[in-house]
């Protein structure tokens, strides 16, 4: 796992969501997380199925934020587990060994250790910078990336107000993936924005 990790915004307009996601995929995005905190069940299912077909056409994984039942229903590539969701161990037990299980670890290295023990595929740290989308304490130090990489073999994802400029030092510290929402989805040229992030990884 390496490169740009895009997280969808809370857009009800499915066609707009697909159009911008495809631009990002053309720009080299490596992984898509479907996250829509306010969607109803019908819209969430519709958008997931459409995004999954799109991701399949680009041979990129689609993971679902929180909704493990939806992941199973459409056979998506995995889930991302937050701090208030089910545990990584529970998700891994339900999904088996083949699916991706990502874990939000905020600024807490012990959460990452626990996630690794319980079978996580990657750990995500943040926020590092203020976000236009998500509200959280901006208290995470870049040192956590270095520490995690030295202790565990898991890929590290960094999130929180990511721009190409702000992400660069975290990639230099060893971050494997940079997660972005607004820096791609609200960009004037999402494909070029994605390419700018991908260049951080020497691709």
Question: Catalytic positions, please?
Answer: 35, 104, 134
Return the biggest CA–CA distance within the chain. Answer: 43
Structure tokens at 52: 């999954």
By the 8 A CB rule, do 23 and 54 touch? no
The span from the CA of 108 to the CA of 24, in Å, is 30
The span from the CA of 144 to the CA of 148, in Å, is 6
Structure tokens at 160: 């929180």
The span from the CA of 84 to the CA of 101, in Å, is 15
The span from the CA of 76 to the CA of 97, in Å, is 14
Tell me how far CA of residue 138 lies from CA of 83, 127, 129, in angstroms.
Answer: 16, 5, 6
Which residue do the tokens 């915004």 mark? Answer: 9
């Amino acid at each position: 796992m390496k490169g740009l990790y895009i997280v969808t915004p809370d857009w009800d307009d499915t066609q707009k969501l697909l159009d911008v996601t495809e631009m990002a995929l053309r720009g080299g995005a490596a992984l898509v997380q479907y996250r829509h905190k306010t969607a109803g069940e019908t819209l969430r299912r519709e958008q997931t199925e459409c995004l999954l077909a799109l991701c399949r056409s680009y041979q990129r994984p689609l993971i679902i934020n929180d909704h493990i039942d939806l992941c199973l229903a459409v056979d998506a590539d995995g889930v991302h587990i937050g701090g208030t969701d089910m545990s990584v161990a529970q998700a891994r037990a339900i999904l088996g060994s083949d699916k991706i299980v990502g874990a939000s670890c905020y600024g807490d290295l012990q959460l990452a250790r626990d996630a690794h023990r319980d079978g996580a595929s990657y750990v995500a740290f943040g926020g590092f910078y203020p976000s236009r989308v998500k509200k959280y304490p901006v208290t995470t130090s870049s040192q956590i990336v270095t520490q995690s990489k030295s202790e565990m073999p898991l890929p590290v994802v960094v999130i929180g107000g990511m721009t190409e400029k702000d992400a660069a030092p975290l990639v230099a510290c060893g971050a494997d993936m940079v997660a972005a929402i607004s820096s791609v989805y609200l960009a004037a040229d999402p494909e070029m924005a994605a390419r700018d992030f991908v260049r951080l990884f020497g691709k």
